[in-house]
Each structure stands twice: as structure tokens, then as C-alpha cells.
Structure 1
Amino acid sequence: MQDVAAAAGVSLGTVSNVLNHPAKVSPATAQRVREAIAQLGFVRNDAARSLASGSNSSIGMVLADIENSLFIDMVHGAQEAARATGSKLLLANTACDMTLQDEYLDLFDESRVTGMLLAPMQDSTAGIARVRAHGRQIVLLNFAPKRGTCCAVLVNNEQVGYLAARHLIETGRTRLAFVAAHDDYQPVRDRRLGVRAAVEEAGGRVVLEEIAAAGLTTADGHLAGQGLARRALEELPDGLVVVTDELANGIIHELHTVAGVRVPEQVAVVGCENNRTAGSAAVPLTAVDMPGRMMGQEAMRLLMDEVEAGERHRHATVVLEPELVVRASAPN
């Protein structure tokens, strides 16, 4: 910065203002400083700046699974809200690996980000406590924290399962199955509870089978679909609630395209996310919509409120309600 100041014929404070508070500098002077920066190839040392100030203008966002478009929608919403505050979003994907998640939380902590957004699939209380002890604010997405731990933005995942099952019941399906994996994931457990509640509400006229898949991906859906396809037609459920859309699309492919089981006439299928693959499947998927973009926006709002409020802050949880999107796999 001293070299830039000398080359531009200005004070060190003027260079600092051009970089941090450009409105304080006349356009002609600012242009002269920028030309000196370009000529000298100067790049600001943000690490040193962060060390001096204790934070920077970046927000760290740690996601469980960037291959799932729900998380991508969260990123878009968070990025839009971050830009509106003059902040930059740094992104990390953990692939549902808790060790990797902790490494990224520590990396963002060491980088002195202003705060963090975390969208996990498992209990992350220890990691949250560690970074908060260092003065880093953190907000959870799609996972309910322990009371008093931090702010959170949730979708009512019990309602997700309930809406999916109720739709099948209202359209005349009486033999339902819930296909899921990873019951250690909070959203999966909550969706299962919602499905059970809808079946219980229907009384004895609806039965529920719970099918364990190997995982939550499209490949796991192919395996689950192959298992279902080996059954006699009369032994198949007539309605499936599938915990992720990728899993649902794999099942539909094996039943409808490979085995010739007609979807939705013989087996109707409802997914639980409405991700970007839902409408482009071989049979477009009816799904319960998770408002990911709004979740990202709300999480960033909560984070910035906490940063500004400091010790006056009180943790809050925002719960967003899901909506059913009806397509060909389970029409009205």
C-alpha cells in the first residue's frame, strides 16, 4: 500500500479509503490510485487485514451435499442476501462427512469470516460450540439445533412427509410405503413421522410399509426399484412416499421404464424435495417443495441481525411451510 501511495502521489490513508471507503475519495484521485494498483500488480493481503480487524466481509457456508439441488437453492438465496449487505459468500461441501465438516468449520474460523451458515444432516452441536466460543456467529439450515445453541431456518419436515402421504391417500391409495435411508439424519426422521401421522389419521383403511434403501441417491433408487420390481404386482404398494427426489427418480425408472409397472396407474410416487430433477424425470415427479432459496435468504438475515446486535441478540428459529407440487407421477 505504501508503494501504491508513492506511485499515485497520495497518502497511505487515501489508498486505504479507495480500497475500503471509495465514496470518501474524489473520482480523479480514486482513478489515479487504481491505475497505480494495476501498474504495480498490488493485491490486498486480506489475511493480514482480517488479523488486524478480527473479521472480514466474507461469510462461510458449509453444505452437507452440493449434488442435491435443495442445497444449491440455499446457496443462491444466501448469496443474494450476502451481496445486498456487501458480503462475499465462501462455499464448502462436506459430502455428508462429519470430519470434513469440522475441518471446514475450523478453516472458516481461522479465516476470520464474519459468520457462518451450516446446512448439516447430523447433530453438529460440538462444532457449533467450538466456533461460537471464538466469537463466530453461526446459523443452521434445515436442522433444528439444541435449544439456545444458535439461530436456525427450518422447513417443517414432518409436514413434508404428511403432505406427501395425505396426497396419496386422498387420491385413493390404500397400500403405502415409505422408502428412506439414513434415519440418523434429522430431516429423514421427521418426514417418516409425518408419513406415519397421515396414515394414522386415515384409520385402518390405509396400511403402511417402511422400506429401507441403501442410501439417498439415484443409484440407490435403482436398487430399491429393482427390489420392488421383483414382487408380484398384487404385492406392490399402490403409493410410494420417497424421502428424496433422486431416490424416487431411480425407483420410477426401474418400475416404469424397465419392469413395465405403470406409474402412476399401478404405483403412484411422491418425492419430498421438489429438486431440479423432479420435473424432468421419465415420469415427472409429484413432490413436496422445500423453499431452499428462501431458506438461504432467511439464514443470512438472521446471521447479519446477530452480527449487528452483538450481546443484545436472542436466538430465533424461522420455520417455513412446504407445499405440494403435483405432476404426473401422482396426479390429483
Structure 2
Amino acid sequence: MPRTDNPARPKLGDVAARAGVSTGTVSNALNHPEKVSPETLQRVHRAIDELGFRRNGAASALASGTSRTVGLVVIDLMNSLFVEMARGAQRAARRHGFDLQLADSDNDPLQQEAHLRFFGAAQTAGIMLAHLDEPDETVRALRRDGIPVVMLNYAPRDADYCCVVIDNEQVGYLAASHLIELGRRRLAFVGGMHDIQPVALRLAGARRAVSEHQGVELIEIDTVDLNPPSGAVAGRDILRLDPADRPDAIIAVTDLLAMALINTFASAGVSVPDDIAVIGCDHNSMAWGGAMPLSSVTMHGQEMGERGIELLRRELVEPAAAHRHERIVLTPELVIRESTAGRGAQDS
């Protein structure tokens, strides 16, 4: 007589019936989440959670202990920081015999959740997550299932995670100090979304640099987001000020904001850097296509990816009782170009 206290493991069709969709939709939700609407993704994943569904391939990999695949989920591949991060991770993964799978969440939390769930269902050996917020329940569930998660470019409040970050307060400090050393005295910090950790830390660093010099002031200009159109809006707002009241230097929290500011000033006949010097903060190659070479601060993305793989490998091989979570903080470096130092400036 069949046992009723240990039901059979749920199948794909059970998930489809619970979610009210076809089995093909469930398959897409697991393998190609970009083809499924956010609302349907939520229904499918809710059904997966309620039924305790696990894929067959995942169970086999877990049982055999042979999975050598690690996942990297990044927030936005349009930012070269995350491209460099992937390159560094790929190099280190190959060195240690891992296969790296890369996923881009395209600034969409639901897409990020779908990628994490996919890696979890596939029983990926471990995951690196480059996000700008605290680990959520999806991340915590992965760790409860025995899948280590290393955070990149974000330092969680919870010390129970390995992570690799850049010293973003020092990023802001270097940018502001450079402008002050050039003789600029009325600085503006352009960037909104202060709940994002790198933004808040870069602003704190700029404030610290200004506080160390008498006669220097810092004004803060908020933007609705960190995209180029917001930089153009901020630039037009600055141009509306009386020339005597305008900042003589700008720290843009991202390079894309910085380039939008420079383009806006150039269209109005305001000279950069003679009238207003401009520096970015994240060394994004997407901003290098402008007419003026942009001063910025390095993020060491490749090293971040490499060190992330090293932390993940250690967490995989060390006994749980012996493993100690580590926070690696990389030191940023100033890169001086024409937007602050004038024509003929060399990268330094």
C-alpha cells in the first residue's frame, strides 16, 4: 500500500497546475525568465515554493557533489564596472576549474530574483551577487539550501557574508581633494538616490575632504536617478544660476552623469574645465566616448571579480565550522584627465 506521509516529489506539471499556466511557461520561467511577464513569474515561483519543487538535474548534481558551476548576477552590464568584474571572475574561475555563468538583472529586482532562483534550482556550487541592496529572502533561502553567496560591490550590514567592495568613501574623498588641490572652492556634488550605498559613501567622502579645508564649500544637487538625462537636467539647473553663484567644480557620483553635465555645459558655451571642472566617480568606459577625456576614480572591477571567486572557493572547500567570513576592501585610485586638469593632461 503506498505511503501517504511521504508524497512523491512534485513535477513540472504540478507546478503548472498550481500556478494556472502551461508546463512550457514554467519551463520558460526556470530557463528563460525574460520571456515571462513579472506577474506570471511571481505565480510560478510562488507555486514552486508551496510545492517544494526541485529540478531533477539539480538533485543529481547535489547528490553527486560534482557541480563545478558558479553563478555571477550583476545589476547592469551597461556599466563597465560589472563587465570588468565578470572578466576577473572568469579568469579566476578558469584557474580554479569552475565554469562561470553570468546573468544581468538589468536593474530589475524581479529579474534578479529569477536569476538567483534559476541558479539555486540548478544547484550551482556557489553564487556571487553584485547588487546595491541588502540580501533579501531569496538570497537567504539559497544559503539555507547550502549554496554560498558572496556579495560584490556592496557591504551587507550582516557580517555573516563574504564580500569584496571598493572603498567608496575614499572615492568621494579623492575626487573632492583633487578639485580642491586645483584651487576650486565652490564644489557641487551631483547625484541622487542616497539610499544606494556607493552614493551615500561617495558623498560622505566628499564632505570629509571639504571639511578639512577652510574657505571651501560643498553644495549638493540631487537627481532623480543616475542616468544621463538626469545629468542634463542638473546641468541646465546650474546654468540658470548667476555665473557668480555657480560651482567652479563638480563631483558627479557616476561618470555617465559627469559626461551629461559636460555636454550640457558645452552646448551653452561654458568651458570645462576653465569655468567648471568636472570629475566622475566610477571609471565607466561607457562615458569615454565624449569629446573630452573625463577625470574619474578607478573601481578595480577585475580584481573585485577575482577576489570574489577566491572567497567563494574558500567557502566551498572549508568546513562550515572553520570558515570565517571575510570583507575585502579595495583601494581606489584617481585618474586625472582633461575635464579637470585641462588640455594635455595625462592619465595619472
TM bucket normalised to smaller:
0.7 to 0.9
Aligned to 2:37: none
Aligned to 1:166: 177
Matched-pair contact (CA < 8 Å) for 2:226–2:257? yes
Quickly say closer, same or farther: Cα 1:146–1:125, change in 2 above 3 A. farther
Superposed CA RMSD: 1.7
| CA offsets 1:246-301 (integer angstroms, 9 cap, x no match) | 11111110012x11110000000110011213443221110011100000000001
- The 1-side partners of 2:291 and 2:192 are apart by 23
Quickly say closer, same or farther: Cα 1:260–1:182, change in 2 above 3 A. same
Answer yes or no: is 1:273 the counterpart of 2:300: no
Answer yes or no: is 1:313 the counterpart of 2:318: no
Aligned to 1:73: 84
TM-score (normalizing by structure 1): 0.82
Aligned to 1:327: 337
Aligned to 2:19: none
C-alpha deviation, 1:319, in angstroms: 0.6
TM-score (normalizing by structure 2): 0.79
Which runs of 5 or more structure 2 residues have no equivalent in the other structure? 1-55
Matched-pair contact (CA < 8 Å) for 1:55–1:113? no
1:16-27 paired onto structure 2 within 5 Å: none
| Paired amino acid for 1:251 | L
1:262-301 paired onto structure 2 within 5 Å: 262-301=271-310
- The 2-side partners of 1:202 and 1:326 are apart by 21
- The 1-side partners of 2:143 and 2:66 are apart by 14
- The 2-side partners of 1:131 and 1:239 are apart by 45
Aligned counterpart in structure 1 of residue 133 of structure 2, from 108, 117, 122: 122
Is 279-288 or 114-123 further displaced after alignment?
279-288
- The 1-side partners of 2:137 and 2:185 are apart by 43
- Identical aligned residues as a percent: 42
Aligned to 1:184: 195
Aligned counterpart in structure 2 of residue 238 of structure 1, from 228, 248, 253: 248
Aligned residue pairs total 286
Aligned to 1:208: 218
- The 2-side partners of 1:53 and 1:213 are apart by 51
| Paired amino acid for 2:223 | A
C-alpha deviation, 1:182, in angstroms: 1.1
3-state SS, counterpart of residue 318 of structure 2: helix
- The 2-side partners of 1:329 and 1:280 are apart by 13
C-alpha deviation, 1:64, in angstroms: 1.2
| CA offsets 1:18-42 (integer angstroms, 9 cap, x no match) | xxxxxxxxxxxxxxxxxxxxxxxxx
Which runs of 5 or more structure 1 residues have no equivalent in the other structure? 1-44
Answer yes or no: is 1:134 the counterpart of 2:145: yes
| CA offsets 1:45-98 (integer angstroms, 9 cap, x no match) | 965742542562111111111111111110110011111112111111222332
Aligned to 1:194: 205
Matched-pair contact (CA < 8 Å) for 2:252–2:281? yes
Aligned to 2:20: none
Answer yes or no: is 1:112 the counterpart of 2:158: no
Is 61-70 or 216-225 further displaced after alignment?
216-225
- The 2-side partners of 1:191 and 1:145 are apart by 17
3-state SS, counterpart of residue 338 of structure 2: coil
Answer yes or no: is 1:61 the counterpart of 2:72: yes
Structure number with bigger Rg: 1
